[in-house]
Amino acid sequence: MFNLQINFNFLLFFIGIMGIVLNRKSLILILMSLELTLLSLNLNFVCFSVFLDDIIGQIFALLVLAVAAAESAIGLAIFILHYRVRGDISVGNTPSLRY
């Protein structure tokens, strides 16, 4: 059962990393892929914490969740600013984010 959980966590992490690497056009998909990697990392921390009978992994997962919430709020603020200035959500032909 534990081996299946580790494989599932690795699969979620790999899908998130491939979403970031392969998709450089849409800002929403990049943010969703980043959130998927952070949540799969949290699931891995909790799984190892239960397996090792230690609470440190669960505390660290809560800290990562707080950082992920702040990251998503800042990312969505940047997304709204980008949409207001450019008029689209595509970041493929934007040379820099300086305005």
Question: In terms of residue numbers, what domain contains 29?
Answer: 2-86
In this structure, is residue 49 part of a structural domain? yes
17 has a pLDDT exceeding 60:
yes
Total domains present in the chain: 1
Global pTM reads: 0.78
Cα–Cα dist 32/81, whole Å: 18
In this structure, is residue 39 part of a structural domain? yes
In this structure, is residue 94 part of a structural domain? no
Confidence of residue 37 (pLDDT cuts 50, 70, 90): very high
- Percent of the chain scored above 70 by pLDDT? 86
CATH number, position 80: 1.10.287.3510
28 neighbors 79 (Cβ within 8 angstroms)? yes
User: What is the average per-residue pLDDT within 15-43?
Assistant: 88
In this structure, is residue 96 part of a structural domain? no
